[in-house]
Amino acid sequence: MNPECHETAPAIASLVWWRRFPSVPRIVGVARHAAAKALTDWGVEEDDVASAALVISELVTNAVRHGRVPGRLVELRLQYDLEKAVTVEVSDASDHRPPTVTTRPAVADATSESGRGLLLVAALTDAWGVRERVVGKTVWARLLVGPGSDS
């Protein structure tokens, strides 16, 4: 190797983690804990991990509750753009789409036991949305993380 030639490895721009889970209610906690461990292992700040874990819980719960297709799995994917943002993606096999940012999530009344999840997701994230897949859909949410993220 030429001593005057200094090759450097390309910088890592982001880290990615994903898992597939059965579409059953008990996986919500399992998915949340596994994802929180990945974020913690990557060095994401504790408050940001807590916010991401809450978003993950809501999106996985919705996938299990409203997007369940027998025999199909729920996929959870995280992308950490180092010290900037965490993107959470939850995919299921159903074509049923949640209300989006443009149609405004439904507002639950004081006695409702559900209906606040997407409002919580919208409050905790910089952006969220839905995109189609060959089979089903992916609901994604981006959380700003790191210094000054206010999460």
Q: Token digits for 89?
A: 């993606």
Identify the three-state secondary structure at position 85. strand
Q: What are the tokens at 42? A: 């990557």
Query: Could you tell me if residue 129 is inside a domain?
Result: yes
Secondary element (H or E) of residue 119: helix 117-124
Query: What's the pTM?
Result: 0.81
Q: Note whether residue 3 is domain-resident.
A: no
Query: Is residue 60 assigned to a domain?
Result: yes
The reply to whether 7 falls in a domain is: no
Q: Which pair of structure tokens corresponds to residue 43? A: 């060095």
Confidence of residue 1 (pLDDT cuts 50, 70, 90): low
CATH number at residue 114: 3.30.565.10
pLDDT at 103: 44
Range of the domain at 26: 14-144
User: Would residue 69 count as lying in a domain?
Assistant: yes
Whole-angstrom distance, CA of residue 84 vs CA of residue 82: 6
Number of domains in the chain: 1
Q: What is the pLDDT of residues 31-51, one digit of tens each?
A: 999 999 999 999 999 999 999
Percent of the chain with pLDDT over 70: 78
Give CA–CA dist 135/62, Å, rounded. Answer: 17
Query: Is-contact 39 10, C-beta < 8 A?
Result: no
Instruction: Say if 130 falls within a structural domain.
Output: yes
Asked if the structure places residue 26 within a domain, the reply is: yes
Summarize pLDDT for 50-96 with one digit per residue, the tens: 999 999 999 999 999 988 888 899 999 999 998 799 999 999 999 88
